[in-house]
Chain A
Amino acid sequence: MTTPVARRPQLSPDELQQLKWLLGGLLTLLGVGTVLYMDIDAWVLTGLTVAATLATLLRPELPGRVPRWVHALAFPAIAAFFAGDLWLKMELLPAMVRLDILLLIYRNLSYRQRRDDLQIIVLGLFLVIVAGVLTVSLTFAGHLLVYTACSLAMLLVITLGDAAQVGKPEPAQPIRETPSWARHTDWRRLLRRLQEVTDWRVVGLGAALFAGVVGVSALLFLAIPRFQIENSMFLDRFITKKAKSGFTDVIRFGDVSEIQLDTSIALSVDVSDQSQIPVTPYWRMLVLDDYSNGTFRLSGGLRAQFGSERTNSFQTGQARPRLGEKAVWTFYLESGVSRYLPLLGHFDMLRFRESQNYRFAGALALVSLREEPVSMTAYRVEGFDLTTLLPDPVFAERWRRRHEPDQKPVGLQTRLILRDSDHGVLRRTVSEITGGESPGAAEFARRAGEWLRRQHSYSLTPAIPGGDGDPLIRWLVSREAGHCELHAGSFVLLARAAGFAARVVTGFRGGSWNGYSNNFTIRNSEAHAWAEIFDERAGGWLRVDPLAPVVATTGEEPRGEAAVAARLDRSWAARFDSLRVFWYRRIVNFDQRSQAETLKAVKEATQNTGRRLRVALEGAVDNLKVWLTSPWDEVRLVRVAAFVIGVGALGWFLKSVGPGWWRLRLRGFGHRRDDPVRREAGRWLSRLANGEAAEEEAGVIADLQRVRFGARPTWPEPARVFQRAHQALRSRRRRAVSRTGSGSG
């Protein structure tokens, strides 16, 4: 006899083609999406690809309308574009990326055959890998994971399509006419069909397998010996470096533009000893000392202090920290910020993960890399001198001897190249600030700071009054609001007019303390400019931030937990940022020490969990013993009996109603037609349909069919029918076992 076999429906070849087209489009979008975080000029091509892909996804019949001459000319044109691109820009990798994107556009503008679908996977993968190697960012990890999952889905669909097309060879010629699947594409219908045909158990198993593979890879990553990935990858050398945030060694005041609030992360810093953290850290990157024509820049003299380029993985500094105060600061500088490394002042030792080409200005406590890094750069600094004074004995000696006849005034950082009228304005302002006195550097800094804050408020959109003369002085004598560069620049002019050596410093101020990953997070919006004035008595450069309410004086800043508490950030954004830090700490910057630490942490966590479980289990057993041995009164007996009866009743209810009840509840009450009894009968029919039906099962199957598909008033008692079905299935299994037994015997 025949029984209705619950066939799982399958996608038709047309639907498989549609799914393949959808996945191909998705892979293309994922692939070109990497251009967003690659520093490659391919925005127009990316825009075109996204537009073309979306258009062909929404209207899959469009490629059929592409004129034939486009197909004929496509590959010669793409080859010519690549050759021209390479010849004009002389950059191999960006040209290859643009070539890749062009090929992706073409593959989305023509109907793909099997090899073209595979090509899409490879082309997209190339972009993802290149972007990953160049940026080593957390986005890359997520991107690669999603891309891999989509690629696997695509390969599965290709395989299913091949299986459906067995015996039908692919056309040798490319498909130019609109195929039937493209004429009637309805994505919503396809999604509904996907929902119908998908066996969610298989999907769950596949997802678990994928997660397992990712997990095993992670374990392998933890366990394998470390090597420096950058040494193996050389792709970044194919790409021209350029800055994103605009940290350069020049500040122009004539053409002040609005500063954009870029809240992306510029720098993440791990600190080994939180008690060392200053309340307001100033991350110094560069000093600008030469002022002329409304522009601050790095003078030749200071540039010379950077010395010749070195290639080394560590650099000793000038600080000699006291015993027990040698905290280790690990910096993760994002790509595109600057080639000047943010530092807190003099340090004892700076270590890179690998040898770097850099210049070091010891007296300035500045380090400049040869090129702007296009991927995250990590370095570790030990023993920062965290005072607000930057000792500079060499300059102090020069300053002391500045009036001696054989000394040249070059490099004294007091020069003011201004018109006479501007000099006059400055002199008048200085005497207004000093009141005719000659205060020391610290006192002058305090007074000048107060004067500046009285005169000018803070604004990110400053206005510089028009007129003749120096733009900074025009602003100084006005009452216009201004940003940090104007305040710092004005302070330096005032200090120099008062006879002090002074300079502008650029870098970052502050940052937030991420409460999840316990590290400093400094954003591009925290970029700042301040000043340093030379204090003859202290023999060093005193930090002056004209925008800070209290001008720093010589001596140590408050540090420690108060500093952390003041900057604590436990927002959702911080939670996400902590992932990035985890990525840097544990994946990108994962050296042998980190490896050992992680393995130790994993081991400890496992041991602790095991110990806690054992303790909990032992506790539970002890409690049970105590409970059992304590006196049994009537109340206890009644309670226990009620509990046993309740559990039994629940079990009986579930057994009699079956899992259909749960499914109905889980699916909600919108599916009223899903009669649980009919569904249960359907499930029994499915079970009995698998395998050979015996003669005696015919009656049960007929009754099950009646309960499933017949009119309700004609039903036999369903519970009895299910019971008989259960018995039939059991006897079928017994028969199978006995057959196997007799066969093997």
Chain B
Amino acid sequence: MSDFVAASQLNDAKQAVAKLQANMRLTIRGKDDVIEQVLVCLVAGGHLLLEDLPGVGKTTLAYSLARSMDCSFSRVQFTSDLLPSDVTGVAIYDETVKEFVFKRGPVFANIVLADEINRATPKTQSALLEVMDRARVTIDGEAHAVGAPFMVFATQNPVDYEGTFPLPESQMDRFLMRLRMGYPEPRDEREILRSARGGYDAIALNPVATRSEILALQAMVPQVFVEESVLDYLLRIVAATRTEAEFRSGVSVRGGVALRTAAQARALVRGRDFVLPEDVTDLVPPIFAHRLALARQTSDALEERRAVTAALKRIVGSIPTPS
């Protein structure tokens, strides 16, 4: 296998990504940047934390992605009484075969939507997060691989914290990105209102990419070239988060690796086999913001998110871009 992406592979990748983008745009209006970042996350093989108010299209986004691919999709509504086995599955005794048979949980799908993840108890959250990390479920000493590709869309409401169990920082690190949908532009919202769609089941999207195409895209990511000066640039950003007074602690090594992988995936999504500095620059807030906490106390979570993002932008602005 070559160290670099072959031109034909790159061409295939471009086409696959273009088809996915076009398909998702049919249901997600005016959010091209979000669609791109979701695809980056998918291609990088990471998981996504969507943080926004209810009803801005988080579930639709996950559903659209799942429907656009020839992949399985499942949705878990996290509540405080949800058990780990409700997510991962359970081994039950089958009288007919006289032995325990593993009944797969909803996590055994390619795209899993974990809705309002912070409403479940930490025990249940941990069960999901372990699957996210290892891509398999172990029950009674037997490992069961989840789907491939495997991507978790977790959502949470950043405002309403009543009766929730916020994810600890160590577990936030498992998510490659944290995104916000935001409200659509008035023009796009008008289009949404015009459409007669009802529930998610009414989303009529044809799959435009196969599982194997997605797996091929994911396999190409490590081959995307990162030039030394770009790598230096990335390292300096990581180092700057560790000396920044506003943060309690800097970004972990896993965070740095995540940024590099995401930058490579973004280059691929944009049809390149090499990373540009802007790939790194643009991905710093979504990749790093949820991995950092402020040294000072803030009055609310939104304020903290704003301060962290502002500090990150300042850091990025203070480091010279390779030219």
Contact = CB atoms under 8 A, between A and B. Distances in A.
- Asked if A pairs with B, the answer is yes
Interface of A: 2, 4-15, 180-181, 183-184, 186, 189, 193, 196-197, 673, 678, 682-683, 685-686, 705-706, 708-711, 713-714
B273 interface: yes
A193 B245 contact: no
The DSSP consensus for interface residues of chain A is helix
A4 B274 CA distance: 13
A180 B320 contact: no
B321 A678 contact: no
Nearest to B317: A10
Contacts of A682: 322-323
Given A14-B245, A673-B228, A709-B227, A9 B318 contact: yes
B318 A711 contact: no
Contact of A4 (B243, B278, B317): B278
Interface string B265-307: 0000000111111100000000000000000000000000000
A10 B274 contact: no
Contacts of B245: 14, 180-181, 183-184
Contact of A709 (B275, B315, B320): B275
B235 to A, nearest CB: 13
B318 A11 contact: yes
Nearest to B226: A709
A410 B269 CA distance: 113
Contact of A9 (B228, B272, B275, B317): B317
B120 interface: no
B319 A9 contact: yes
Contacts of A189: 243
B229 interface: yes
A709 B278 contact: no
A10 B273 CA distance: 30
A189 B239 CA distance: 12
Nearest to A196: B320
Interface in B76-103: none
Contacts of A13: 314
B317 A673 contact: no
Interface string B235-269: 00000000111100000000000000000000000
Contact of B321 (A7, A11, A673): A7
A12 B318 contact: yes
Interface of B: 3-4, 225, 227-230, 243-246, 272-278, 314-315, 317-323
Contact of B246 (A7, A11, A180, A713): A180
6 contacts: A9-B317, A9-B318, A184-B244, A686-B323, A705-B276, A711-B4
Contacts of A710: 225, 227, 272-274
A6 B323 contact: yes
Contacts of B229: 673, 678, 709
Contacts of B314: 12-13
Contacts of A8: 320
A197 B317 CA distance: 11
A685 B320 CA distance: 15
Contacts, number: 78
A710 B323 CA distance: 13
The DSSP consensus for interface residues of chain B is loop
A13 B245 CA distance: 12
B225 A685 contact: no
B323 A15 contact: no
Contacts of B227: 678, 708-710
B176 to A, nearest CB: 23
A709 B230 contact: yes
A683 B323 CA distance: 7
B276 A709 contact: yes
A708 B315 CA distance: 24
B320 A15 contact: no
Nearest to B311: A12
A9 B227 CA distance: 20
Closest 10 CB pairs of A and B: A6-B323, A710-B274, A9-B320, A180-B245, A711-B225, A12-B318, A682-B323, A709-B227, A184-B245, A709-B274
Contacts of A708: 227
Contacts of B3: 711
A708 B275 CA distance: 10
Given A180-B246, A181-B245, A711 B274 contact: yes
A496 B74 CA distance: 125
B277 A713 contact: no
Contacts of B230: 709
Contacts of B277: 4, 709
A66 B228 CA distance: 46
Given A7-B320, A7-B321, 9 more contacts: A8-B320, A180-B246, A193-B318, A682-B322, A682-B323, A686-B323, A709-B230, A711-B274, A714-B225
A664 to B, nearest CB: 15
The residue among A6, A184, A711 with the most chain B CB atoms within 10 A of its own CB is A711
A673 B3 CA distance: 20
A742 B255 CA distance: 54
Nearest to B244: A184
Given A184-B245, A711-B4, A197 B278 contact: no
A692 B227 CA distance: 27
B272 to A, nearest CB: 8
Nearest to B315: A12
A2 B318 CA distance: 21
Contacts of B225: 709-711, 714
B309 to A, nearest CB: 15
The residue among B229, B275, B323 with the most chain A CB atoms within 10 A of its own CB is B323
A711 B272 CA distance: 11
A567 B301 CA distance: 83
B265 to A, nearest CB: 16
A6 B318 contact: no
A720 to B, nearest CB: 18
A184 B243 contact: yes
Contacts of B320: 7-9, 196-197
Contacts of A197: 320
Contacts of A678: 227, 229
Nearest to A180: B245
Given A181-B245, A711-B4, A706 B323 contact: no
Nearest to B296: A180
Nearest to A15: B318
Contacts of B4: 711, 713-714
Nearest to A7: B321
Contacts of B273: 710-711, 714
A11 B318 CA distance: 6
The residue among A186, A197, A708 with the most chain B CB atoms within 10 A of its own CB is A708
Contacts of A686: 323
The residue among A4, A7, A709 with the most chain B CB atoms within 10 A of its own CB is A709
A180 B243 CA distance: 11
A678 B228 CA distance: 11
B228 A4 contact: no
A189 B225 CA distance: 30
Contacts of B246: 180
B318 A10 contact: yes
Nearest to B270: A2
B266 to A, nearest CB: 13
A659 to B, nearest CB: 15
Contacts of A11: 318
A184 B246 CA distance: 10
Contacts of A713: 4
Nearest to B320: A9
A716 B82 CA distance: 57
Given A193-B318, A673-B228, A710-B227, A685 B323 contact: yes
